[in-house]
Amino acid sequence: MRKIRFVLIFCLFAWACLQSAAQAEVFRIAALMPSATNDLAFSQSMYDALAAIQEELGEEAFEFTIQDSAYIVDDAAVALRDWAASGKYQLVIAHGSQYGPIVEELATEFADVSFAWGTRQDTFGMDNVYSYAAASDEGGYFNGVLAAHLTESGVVGLVGPIEVGDGKLYADGFANGVASVDENIKVNIVFIGSFSDVPLATEAAEAHIANGADILTGTAQMVVGPIAVAVANDVLWFGSDASQDDLSEDIGVAFQIYKWEVLLLDMIANIKEGKLGGEYYKLTLENEGLVMEFDKDFVASEALLAIAEETIASIVSGDIVPIPEMAEEMMDEDDSEDEGDGG
Amino acid sequence: MGMEEIFTASVFASAIRLATPYIFAALGETFAQRSGVLNLGVDGIMLMGAFSGFYAVYVAQQAETMSEPVSLLFGVVVALIVGGLMGLAMAFVSVTLKAKQGISGIGVFLFGFGLSELLFQQWVGTPKSIQGFHRIDFPILTDLPIVGEIFFHHNLLVYVAFALVPVSAFVLNRTTFGLMIRAVGQNPEAADAMGVSVARVRYATTIIGGIMAGLAGASLSIALIKLFQQNLTAGQGFIAVALVYFGGWRPWAVAAGAMLFSFVNALQLQIKVIDAAIPSEFAVMAPYVITIIALIFASKRQEQPTALTKPYERGE
Amino acid sequence: MNKVAGLTQLAISSRFSRLIDFSPVVIALLLALVVSSVLLLALSADPIAAYSAMLEGAIGTENATAETLVKATPLLFVGIGITIAFRGGMINIGGEGQMIAGALAGTTIALVLGDLRIAPEFAKEKGAFDLIIVTLSLIGGFLAGALYGGLAGFLKAYFDVNEILSTIMLNQIAVQMMNFLLNGILLDPAEAGFNNIPKTARLVTAAQLPRLSLPIGDPFLFARTRLHWGLIIAIALAVIIYIFLWRTSLGYRIRAVGENQRAASFAGINVKRQMMFSMFLAGGFAGLAGVVQVLGLQYRLQTDGSPAGFTGAAGFNGIVAALFGGLNPIGAIPAAAFFGGLLVGAQKMQRELGTPASLITAVNGLIVVFVVSSEIFIQQRSKRRVSVAEQAEDEEEKAKDDG
Contact B49, B301 (CB under 8 A): no
H-run or E-run covering C116: helix C95-117
Peptide bond into C219 cis (omega under 30): yes
Q: Is A215 exposed, middle or buried (0-12, 13-18, 19+ CB in 10 A)?
A: buried
Residues of chain A with CATH 3.40.50.2300: 26-134+260-283, 136-257+300-334
Res C4: pLDDT: 45
Are C305 and A100 within 8 A, CB to CB? no
User: Are the Cβ atoms of C161 and B291 closer than 8 angstroms?
Assistant: no
- A233 Cβ partners below 8 Å, 6+ apart? A209
**Domain edges within chain C:** 1-45+356-403, 68-354
What per-residue confidence (pLDDT) applies to B113? Answer: 94
Inspect the interface and report whether the beta carbons of A96 and C304 lie closer than 8 Å. yes
Evaluate if residue C6 carries a pLDDT over 70: no
Q: Between chains, do B121 and C180 touch, taking CB under 8 Å as contact?
A: no
CB contact burial B13-46 (16+ within 10 A = b; e otherwise) = bbbbbbbbbbbbbbbbbbbbbbbbbbbbbbbbbb
The ipTM is 0.90
Which of A190, A197, A224 lies closest to B227 in CB terms?
Answer: A224
Interface test with A, best of B135, B270, B273 (most A CBs within 10 A): B273
d(CA A178, CA A181): 6
Confidence of residue B5 (pLDDT cuts 50, 70, 90): confident
How many A×C Cβ pairs under 8 Å? 100
Of residues B14, B121, B230, nearest to A203 (C-beta): B14
CB neighbourhood size of B9 (10 A): 16
Which residue from A327, A330, A329, A322 is spatially nearest to A137, judged by alpha carbons?
A322
Angle at CA of residue B250, ends B244 and B255, nearest 5°: 65
**What confidence tens digit (pLDDT) does each residue in C179-225 have?**
889 888 888 877 766 566 788 888 888 888 988 888 887 778 888 88
Q: Tell whether A179 lies on the interface with B, counting CB pairs under 8 A.
A: no
Please give the CATH number for the structural domain made up of A26-134+260-283: 3.40.50.2300
Distance, in Å, from the CA atom of B294 to the CA atom of B287, rounded to the nearest integer, reads 10
Nearest CA-CA partner of A141 in A260, A285, A333: A285
Chain A residues with CB under 8 Å of C176 CB are 193
Chain C residue with the nearest C-alpha to that of A324: C194
Neighbours of chain A (3+ CB pairs under 8 A): B, C
Asked whether the predicted pLDDT for residue B301 surpasses 70, the reply is no
**Residue B302: DSSP 8-state:** P
User: CB A48: neighbour CB atoms within 10 A?
Assistant: 18
* Euclidean distance between CA atoms C192 and A333, whole angstroms: 11
* Nearest-CB residue to C308 (from A30, A71, A78): A71
Contact C199 A101 (CB under 8 A): yes
Burial of B119 (0-12, 13-18, 19+ CB in 10 A): middle
pLDDT above 90: residue B313 = no
Q: Is A279 on the interface with B (CB under 8 A)?
A: no
Q: Cα separations (Å) of A307 from A310, B53, C53, C105, C365?
A: 5, 44, 55, 52, 54
* A204/B contact by beta carbon, under 8 A: yes
C221: β partners: C214
Question: β-strand A290-294 against A252-258: which pairing, if any?
Answer: antiparallel
pLDDT at C326: 84
pLDDT tens readout for residues C143-167: 999 999 999 999 999 888 888 889 9
What pTM was estimated for this model as a whole? 0.87
Q: Which of A52-61, A90-99, A334-343, C231-240 has the lowest mean pLDDT?
A: A334-343
Between A69, A196, A211, which is nearest B273 by CB? A211
Shortest Cα distance from A8 to chain B (angstroms)? 52
Query: Does B231 sit within 8 Å of A196, measured CB to CB?
Result: yes
CATH superfamily of A136-257+300-334: Response regulator (3.40.50.2300)
Cα of A208 to nearest chain B Cα, Å: 7
CA distance C2 to C224: 50
Distance CA(B274)–CA(B259), nearest Å, equals 22
Q: What is the pLDDT of residues C9-58, one digit of tens each?
A: 444 445 544 544 566 777 888 888 888 888 888 888 888 998 899 999 99
Helical H runs in chain B? 3-6, 9-34, 42-63, 68-91, 101-119, 147-151, 156-174, 176-186, 188-193, 198-218, 236-246, 251-274, 280-297
Q: pLDDT-based confidence at A217, cuts 50/70/90?
A: very high
**Burial of residue A275, with CB atoms counted within 10 A of its CB: 0-12 exposed, 13-18 middle, 19 or more buried:** middle
Give B157 or A332, the one with higher predicted confidence: B157
Closest residue by Cα to residue A229 from A242, A243, A245, A210: A210
Instruction: Give the end-to-end CA distance of chain A in Å, rounded to a whole number.
Output: 54
Query: Quick one: DSSP state of residue B224?
Result: I
CB under 8 Å to A246, separation ≥6 — which residues? B126, B128
